[in-house]
Structure 1
Amino acid sequence: SLIRGPFFFGVAMRLGETLDRIGATPKVLILRLRAVPIIDATGVSALQNMIERCERNGTKVIVTALQPQPERILGDMGVLARVTRAPDFAAAIEMAKEMVKTE
């Protein structure tokens, strides 16, 4: 999922709704955050909830291309310790392929 612009609660809620519409549980979810310059506390909370949901369902989460402010906030809040990080989307795709192969 490519997310553009500030990551606030509403954006995170739409992401959760998108997961609901998918139906089948994905093995890996890649969050492309290169176009997210800032994230606020409500966005962090909603993202944490989505990651918890993914963990419960066995979905691995990969986060790519963090800008400085989101990287700092997500690191401080412990979110980055719960996900796999990739420098860019191409690397995330390769990581996802390996994750799926090892299951």
Structure 2
Amino acid sequence: MTITQLAVTSTVFGWLNSESIISACRAAVGAARAEALAQFVAVAMLRRRNGEIPVETDSEALARFYMAAVQGMAVQATDGVDGDTLGTLVDFALQAWPSHQPACD
């Protein structure tokens, strides 16, 4: 590594380790996660209102479960897990979606 490359690398790492940059990134990522969670909750509530899932379903818990599944799959994809394996995980996650069971007469 040349002295110029070393200086640039040192500057970039110093910039990336800046507390204000780290705080801004955390805030932005946190806001994006909160928005995604709110969207998941809204979908669950809509499905509950439409009778597609049981009325007693906890919309926020359901949303958090699927957020955890999506985040876990994102980590696995980053680690190089192949698409077929991720597809299998999606299939398993969808099996956990509550379904409305008609009442037996």
Give the number of the structure whose residues are more often strand, by fraction.
Answer: 1
What TM-score comes out, normalization by structure 2 length?
0.31
Q: Which protein has the larger Cα radius of gyration, Structure 1 or Structure 2?
A: 2
What TM-score comes out, normalization by structure 1 length?
0.31
Give the number of the structure whose residues are more often helix, by fraction.
Answer: 2
